Structure 1
């Protein structure tokens, strides 16, 4: 396989004959890339955007992507890949069962998005251009950035996000399995609406995490089996605004940290780390979803790195964050991906290009082994309706350049 830095895989393609020639011969370059071989080749490709690693599948790790050969993706459909080689049996050496999961940013079904659904009578409208692709994954996860009840007083004025529960028809059509609720808008209509939102989402068959009628309920992970893997997801809110759940009071899981809720609170972080450690034994794949960071910025705040790295060290397989409304970089720490900001997904913001651009992240597992993280560029159009972009197109390339920058 030809493994390159993810930015180098955009629009790249190869033919079977040229790949076989590279393996047989000793060519030092391919399509402008410097060819590296042998132990450590993948690490070189991760660090050097001008290098391509010529390797077998057992060497692939998150942080590189692979070039399709004759139109076949060796990670998502290894059985159809036309170039094979014998390798020793080991972790990740054989494909096993391929399991893909998709992770989207904020899904806001109120305000103008809700008005468009109500006006047309089409409660699946926000997912009209993405439902087929989202539902094709073994698991689909997103952050529900609104309440499903308006039974209390609006606490954010015009920025109070409340949705009609009928809007969950589109969420269901798009194949979502888990909705994270640890965010700064779940409290927009008070405690009763928050509790009602959790109940409605779960009553419609979605697993939730990050909010509940007490801190114990809010910390309870979402658990879904998909593709034979036990996925476990935790979520927290570092932005505040929604009430902090207490021993007997409803709210969301808080983690106080810059730039909004104060200096990094050691006790809050320790509590989330403990949740990760407690969930680890029952998970094949354990992901933490933070709501964090500075709005309208491509740059993570320093403590995003600190918190993410601590969560990976506690046992998280991935950290996938959002809230900023702009995309932020992806890093790989100790072999595990950290997505600092997915951007919006379903949202009615239109005041800048950046708030209408996003990524959906795809994790590709071979059995329990994570082989790849991919960023799929998205444009949010009229009415807050997103669509997937061609990664090789001008806008798709621009978004991915920021994510992998």
Structure 2
């Protein structure tokens, strides 16, 4: 039987069909293979959207992988299988997110395949309404108080923060700290070194954004002429003998302010006054070691030994590196603020005189105020108010120390109150008062703190003080977080002839 003969045209047609089929198969194979290669070689570090926008939008990683935001990653047409868009594990090396949690929670810990990179930290504070009438150390809250828990920015006005387990924000082990960090998790082990090397290098120079904590305090009149001065200069245990239990409080601050009530001079040319005070300059290192790093000089005893004694005082403070302000060799110098930056907070500190004329006729405004040709102090005036406004406009935390009011009055006079409130109205964040020799109230005014009179911190040799209640004083200590008063503490003290102690 003869085989059927297939015409050449039919054979050609069949061959063409088979060729096209084979070519199509090969083409489809190559297309799918290319997609597979795309899925296995174009790796991504997938980053949480907000974190990507903040840190990584203009960053170029090594060739081994690309950085991409989470939303952009999910919009890719990867077509790597049904599970491709359900997570980074198919086509990603790492997944970076922001995680937040209080330090007293365990949170997600690092392991062999993940690392945490700290981005920012925020403290939280239990706080209660401030009661400045309490007389026990460290207690400025009412007995039946309501506790609030907030960050510094949202601390209720008039509240003061409370230490947690005797720790303040910023102390090692403070419990109420909230941390934000980037968590990098590698899902393809072969890329761990490349990925971690990149992120280690990237984050090492990034400053962690933290709440800045600063403590400052002030005491009232310091007059150590006589026994206290002798002990501080000559006794190797002089600090402990003179300051006793107040010493740890004094030494625990970034800024410690005191009113140096007298002249630092060896001059014997005292002016006509009821009382004149002077100290040896050798006492200054001891006072500095006690914690004082700013002395107010704008008081009614700064000119007890005339301009010569005043200049000696300025020279001695400069010699021992103790700042002052509101005092200078000229009026221009006297009106300058003392500026310092502590833990990211910029401070502008000024002192001024506002005390009344003495019984002997001593008029500080006329006699001791600096002029173009005379060294002296800054007196409260309209230019000072304008300068306070300027300092506040620069973003500074403004402190005004004022020597004013009337002696032995336990409540501020209305003129005194008006002046101190005006300082706040102009931009002062904190006003410390001295001169009355006795304690006057501490009050909030428009969210700022006014201490009308700190009293006599140490003022040896004056027996009349017991009669007027001028043996009692206080250390007022505040803690700032990012320039806002958060902690407010009053430490009651009592002094005798040659020493001072906490009550």
Which TM-score band applies after superposition, normalised by the shorter structure?
0.7 to 0.9
* Cross-structure match for 2:448: 336
Give the CA deviation at 1:279.
Answer: 2.8
Aligned length: 335
* Cross-structure match for 1:315: 427
CA distance, structure 2, for counterparts of residue 371 and residue 95 of structure 1: 16
Structure 1 residues 4-403: aligned runs within 5 Å: 4-7=129-132, 51-58=145-152, 59-61=154-156, 63-69=158-164, 71-73=165-167, 77=171, 80-81=174-175, 96-117=211-232, 124=239, 126-156=242-272, 159-239=275-355, 241=362, 242=364, 243-255=368-380, 268=381, 270-282=382-394, 284-348=396-460, 349-353=462-466, 354-383=469-498, 385-389=499-503
CA distance, structure 2, for counterparts of residue 150 and residue 172 of structure 1: 20
CA distance, structure 1, for counterparts of residue 307 and residue 446 of structure 2: 39
CA distance, structure 2, for counterparts of residue 119 and residue 12 of structure 1: 31
CA distance, structure 2, for counterparts of residue 141 and residue 62 of structure 1: 25
CA distance, structure 1, for counterparts of residue 448 and residue 457 of structure 2: 23
Deviations 1:85-142 (A, max 9, x none): 99xxxxxxx9712211111111113245335556758764644543343122111111
- Alpha-carbon spacing, 1:61–1:74, altered in 2? closer, same or farther (3 Å): farther
What SS class does the counterpart of residue 453 from structure 2 fall into? strand
Equivalent pair of 1:230/1:282 in contact (CA under 8 Å): no
Q: Which runs of 5+ in 2 are unaligned?
A: 1-125, 181-208
Give the alignment's TM-score, normalised by structure 2: 0.60
CA distance, structure 1, for counterparts of residue 310 and residue 271 of structure 2: 12
- Alpha-carbon spacing, 1:135–1:116, altered in 2? closer, same or farther (3 Å): closer
Equivalent pair of 1:346/1:386 in contact (CA under 8 Å): yes
What SS class does the counterpart of residue 153 from structure 1 fall into? coil
Give the alignment's TM-score, normalised by structure 1: 0.73
CA distance, structure 1, for counterparts of residue 275 and residue 237 of structure 2: 23
CA distance, structure 2, for counterparts of residue 343 and residue 76 of structure 1: 31
What SS class does the counterpart of residue 209 from structure 1 fall into? coil
Equivalent pair of 1:6/1:65 in contact (CA under 8 Å): no
- Alpha-carbon spacing, 1:173–1:315, altered in 2? closer, same or farther (3 Å): same
CA distance, structure 2, for counterparts of residue 9 and residue 221 of structure 1: 33
Greater relative CO (CA pairs within 8 A, separation 6+): 1
* Cross-structure match for 2:13: none
Give the CA deviation at 1:5.
Answer: 3.0
CA distance, structure 2, for counterparts of residue 2 and residue 128 of structure 1: 30
- Alpha-carbon spacing, 1:128–1:311, altered in 2? closer, same or farther (3 Å): same
* Cross-structure match for 1:27: none
Give the CA deviation at 1:65.
Answer: 2.7
Moved more, 195-204 or 48-57: 48-57
Equivalent pair of 2:162/2:487 in contact (CA under 8 Å): no
* Cross-structure match for 2:115: none
CA distance, structure 1, for counterparts of residue 156 and residue 268 of structure 2: 48
- Alpha-carbon spacing, 1:128–1:165, altered in 2? closer, same or farther (3 Å): farther
What SS class does the counterpart of residue 103 from structure 1 fall into? strand
Deviations 1:19-73 (A, max 9, x none): xxxxxxxxxxxxxxxxxxxxxxxxxx99x9854243423432563234555x335
What SS class does the counterpart of residue 205 from structure 1 fall into? coil
The RMSD of aligned alpha carbons is: 3.2
Equivalent pair of 2:294/2:322 in contact (CA under 8 Å): yes
CA distance, structure 1, for counterparts of residue 167 and residue 133 of structure 2: 15
